[in-house]
A and B are shown apart, each in its own frame.
Chain A
């Protein structure tokens, strides 16, 4: 059970049960849809992006505890962040859950600390895509032009 407890920490179960920023925020001007064709999970990310900053962000969708918690925590952390800050965090987060160490550059350490609860995912390679779907979709939402992503 210990690896499972590490994967399903209380904070993850909490975010999974009661996701924060669920829904479309008013004034959203960027959005993207993400699919995990493997399991059928879907997510929509909505961003109000003004002056180069994420002013508001929300999501809708259905998925497992990992994907819901990851999306929920991501939205909390990204409030007020620039696109560059998001990308640096995404790189670090990806390394955190995929178990690699390729990322470089300055990262908001506080934000990364919060995401550490998802580090248990690295013991479960089949679940990495669950954790990163929201992030890939956020990436597409911020990239003007791209509005649909899939984990495959």
Chain B
């Protein structure tokens, strides 16, 4: 059995079930058995980075223990096996996103590198002075700063699509920003700070009508909803491994084949070349043109195992489960006085962003941690949207496949302690 297929066979058959068996899911995640500060771990920070199931951990360990070598180089058995497993993982990403061709999947270090790759390579070649780049106000810094760097280099202009008070994407306002000058629209599929799921099909249709390309930041989105890049007709789609229950330092960029073909390399080095001489260097074909240097071999194979894992559970089933937990969290948090919620759009991922009136999010986070409850406190690397609401940060609980009603109960009990302490 290969390392890459161990995960498949280790998994149970979830077909035929309508809902997630959350206790069985929890049993897959070894870390959930530990205690923090003498309390059972209540992990509510999957939107920052999800925990890893045994299937992913075992796959990565299996690569190193039995099938590790550098890829695309050696002519020996182990290198051939490692290459096959690495490329099989690429195929898993392709099927996960329903890309037309496996060469449209570029492995990266994560969402940030995927976006930087497009901004630097595609942007560097096709974006000129006076061209416009449209972002939304609720982007993660990783989908803002690469475009600012590009704008600084080229003289392009950044336009920012606003949101409603509940965090909903304002399609009308967005449409007003589009013009023939718009070169690319780069927006999130699901906001990490508010949870808002954006109307991606309409966003793409309106951008294409003006001749603009669209990059979707799917770091949160791909975790909560099935993605079909062909159906969306999206030009670039970005995923990260670590939020998808996969290893950190892994990710992928989907790009339409003709776009990737027309783009110059992002980094130079080994693997991305066909032939090097001091007169002229010929670049490799996509996706290898964008994969300079030895990649995260075991990690990318682990990402493939993570995709197997979530596919087996069913993204739809995970999403339905998370929606149920979020609804319960809304219900329970209403019992605590003076809580302000941020991000209550009708379409949203399982993110509960809030402020406890009069108490700074970091103080909330520290009290919760003492109760074993891990949440994110701060600006969530999305300062423009914090400014939009006139706040410096929120406390954010985010729910994954392994979270339960009991987790929500522990969150609410810990928030009661915040009130007790701070009055």
Contact = CB atoms under 8 A, between A and B. Distances in A.
Interface string A14-31: 000100000000000000
Contact of B362 (A1, A4, A13, A64): A64
A39 B370 contact: no
Interface string A110-149: 0000000000000010110010000000000000000000
Contacts of B358: 17
Interface in B366-423: 366-367, 370, 377-379, 383, 386, 392-393, 417, 421-423
A89 interface: no
A62 B378 CA distance: 12
A4 B377 contact: no
A127 B366 contact: yes
Interface residues of A, number: 22
A63 interface: yes
A124 B379 contact: no
Contacts of A42: 392
Given A39-B377, A39-B378, A40-B392, A1 B363 contact: no
A65 interface: yes
A62 B355 CA distance: 14
B363 A40 contact: no
A3 interface: yes
B276 interface: no
Contacts of A64: 360-363
Nearest to B358: A17
Contacts of A127: 362, 366
B421 A8 contact: yes
Contact of B367 (A4, A38, A40): A4
Contacts of A124: 366
A60 interface: no
A73 interface: no
A150 B300 CA distance: 35
Given A8-B421, A127-B366, A40 B386 contact: yes
B359 interface: yes
A127 B361 CA distance: 12
A4 B359 contact: no
B392 A39 contact: yes
A38 B378 contact: yes
Given A39-B362, A63-B392, 14 more contacts: A1-B417, A1-B421, A4-B370, A7-B366, A39-B361, A39-B377, A40-B378, A40-B383, A40-B386, A41-B362, A63-B360, A64-B362, A66-B362, A66-B363
Interface of A: 1, 3-5, 7-8, 13, 17, 38-42, 62-66, 124, 126-127, 130
Interface of B: 358-363, 366-367, 370, 377-379, 383, 386, 392-393, 417, 421-423
17 contacts: A3-B370, A8-B363, A8-B421, A17-B358, A39-B377, A39-B392, A39-B393, A40-B378, A40-B379, A41-B362, A62-B392, A64-B361, A64-B363, A65-B360, A66-B363, A124-B366, A127-B362
